[in-house]
Amino acid sequence: MEDEILKLFNKTTATISAISTAFTTIFGVEWILFAGYLILNVLDYITGTIKAKVKKVENSNKGLIGIVKKVCYWILIGIAFLISFLLTQIGVKINLNLDFIMLFGWFTLVCLIVNEARSIVENLVEIGIEVPVFLRKGLEVYNKLIESTLNNIMDFKKKNGKN
């Protein structure tokens, strides 16, 4: 019995290590942020499906459109990071510091994370779950803070003549 438990533990550990290594290779050490966003995607889809069932407005086309949108969000993240990387590399080639452009990908990811979280909270509210006000309001404040921070960075770069 102990041998079976040890074998199961070793297989589980090896599987988790392989997944972590694969994610780190693909997404870098920040892979957990992308995994978290994926979890939010799944939870948003689930809560949206539950909301549709509770409200008796189920529609398979609407569900498919939701899945397509989630895939497109991932494409958007990929594009934001790719553009950031390409423009930064071009900056290196032409001796222009464009490192701040790497923020495009990160700001895109954080905006989508906040939007997914807000959508989940809205779904829960609509199905009758009591969601703490601080969570709903906090996500709104965080979203405004992100937009404000991005605007401040862009304004600072303009005022100081930095590209």
Domain boundaries, the chain: 29-159
pLDDT tens sequence across 124-134: 999 999 989 88
Residue 102: is its pLDDT beyond 90?
no
Strands, E assignment, 2-47: none
The pLDDT score that the predictor gives to residue 88 is 92
Residue 51: is its pLDDT beyond 90?
yes
118 and 143 in contact (C-beta within 8 Å)?
yes
86: pLDDT confidence band, cut at 50, 70 and 90? very high
Q: Count of CB atoms within 10 A of residue 146's CB? A: 15
Q: Which residues contact 47 (CB under 8 A, 6 or more apart)?
A: 119, 120, 123, 124, 127
Q: What percent of the chain has pLDDT over 90?
A: 44
CA neighbours within 13 Å on the CB side: how many for 39?
Answer: 6
Q: Please give the residue that has the higher pLDDT: either 39 or 2.
A: 39
Q: Please give the residue that has the higher pLDDT: either 30 or 83.
A: 83
Q: Count of CB atoms within 10 A of residue 123's CB? A: 22
The pLDDT score that the predictor gives to residue 156 is 65
The pLDDT score that the predictor gives to residue 3 is 81
